[in-house]
Structure 1
Amino acid sequence: MIQQGQTLPSATLGQLTTDGMVNHQTDELFANKKVVLFAVPGAFTPTCSASHLPGFIVLADQIKAKGVDIIACVSVNDAFVMKAWGEAQNACEIMMLADGDASFTKALGLEMDTATFGGIRSKRYAMIIENGVVKQLNVEAPKQFEVSSAEAILASL
């Protein structure tokens, strides 16, 4: 598993925008920026939709006021699902990123096999990244939602 102080692995994350599909290279996306990246096991799922994403939507202005350039949500879903979920949640300030093949999640060592829930998914986590380096990493214990919340990240900033 990636640790604090390590550089994020190179990977491609998809984003469906009004201009079409954009494939972001993590090396470029996180370069020279302060980023809050949080991951959810799946779009449109109960805790993710009721608490995790909404917390970052509500606190986006306060998080960005701490010098954060990008708040991004990543999930092992396709870019179409991530866009639809972002629109359904009014996540205008959140970059909704798709890790469709779980390559980024696996490179981080933060994957879990959920079997009938969709196979390989991401563990629930949040991290603070500065210029591609992990400065803070909060990984949730299974079936928990405490350390990766928007409130917890805001307190860490």
Structure 2
Amino acid sequence: MSGLSAGDAFPEGVSFTYVAPTGELDITACGLPIQYDVSKEASTKRLAIVAVPGAFTPTCQVSHLKSYIENLDKLKAAGVDQVIFIASNDQWVMAAWGKANGIKDDSILFMSDPVAAFSKSIGWVNGDRTKRYALIVDHGKVTYAGVDDVRGSIENSGAEALLAKL
């Protein structure tokens, strides 16, 4: 498969792992991984799925995640039920990234796409890492799919791009 496009059905059998937020911002505290059935959740909700090459990496940290934190209320007001960040990092690194950025609840979930399996299945990878992309999945249908191929760009995958399509 080469990417996803608006109008496509979200694939079946997609799951990620994450560590549930505990309300604490201690990045050294670990929890047990939880399986998140994205396909099931996407069938009944409007999800924003945001893929990044890696937690704590320059563009991902400085501008990409920041765009979602700053626009979270607008995304929720526009009907997004859940914002999910994914990377090929493990679930503990992803949880620490959320905590390091002050996220201590489920307002944004930070999940692992182990070995970039989902991203590979849609062809949006760069080696062993996900490309920078964003999807809006509304009750099982992709309504927006944007990928950034220019290094450092969040033009198609930042929160502003999604808000323009909601």
Normalised TM-score (structure 2): 0.85
Q: Residue type of the partner of 1:82?
A: M
Q: Does the 8 A contact of 2:18 with 2:34 survive in 1?
A: yes
One of 123, 144, 152 as aligned partner of 2:161: 152
Q: Residue type of the partner of 1:151?
A: E
Secondary structure of 2:115's partner?
coil
Q: Does the 8 A contact of 1:41 with 1:123 survive in 2?
A: yes
- Deviant stretches of 4+, over 4 Å: none
Deviation, structure 1 residue 131: 1.3
Secondary structure of 1:43's partner?
coil
Q: Does the 8 A contact of 1:123 with 1:140 survive in 2?
A: yes
One of 15, 24, 27 as aligned partner of 1:12: 15
Q: Does the 8 A contact of 1:52 with 1:149 survive in 2?
A: yes
Quote the Cα distance in structure 2 between the aligned partners of 1:28 and 1:148.
23
1:99 and 2:113 aligned: yes
Secondary structure of 1:109's partner?
coil
Q: 1:142 is matched with which residue?
A: 150
Range with greater deviation from structure 2 (18-27 or 76-85): 18-27
Q: 2:87 is matched with which residue?
A: 75
Q: Percent identity?
A: 36
Deviation, structure 1 residue 3: 2.2
Q: 1:133 is matched with which residue?
A: 141
Q: Does the 8 A contact of 1:11 with 1:103 survive in 2?
A: no
Secondary structure of 2:85's partner?
strand
Deviation, structure 1 residue 147: 1.5
Quote the Cα distance in structure 1 between the aligned partners of 2:64 and 2:141.
23
Quote the Cα distance in structure 2 between the aligned partners of 1:111 and 1:8.
18
One of 120, 129, 132 as aligned partner of 1:124: 132
Quote the Cα distance in structure 2 between the aligned partners of 1:82 and 1:132.
25
Q: Residue type of the partner of 2:130?
A: S
Q: Does the 8 A contact of 1:4 with 1:135 survive in 2?
A: yes
Unaligned runs of 5+ in 1: 114-119
Deviation, structure 1 residue 27: 1.8
Q: 2:64 is matched with which residue?
A: 52
Normalised TM-score (structure 1): 0.90
Unaligned runs of 5+ in 2: 23-30
Count of residues paired in the alignment: 151
Q: Residue type of the partner of 2:136?
A: I
Q: 1:116 is matched with which residue?
A: none
Q: Residue type of the partner of 1:124?
A: R
Deviation, structure 1 residue 109: 1.6
Q: Does the 8 A contact of 1:8 with 1:108 survive in 2?
A: no
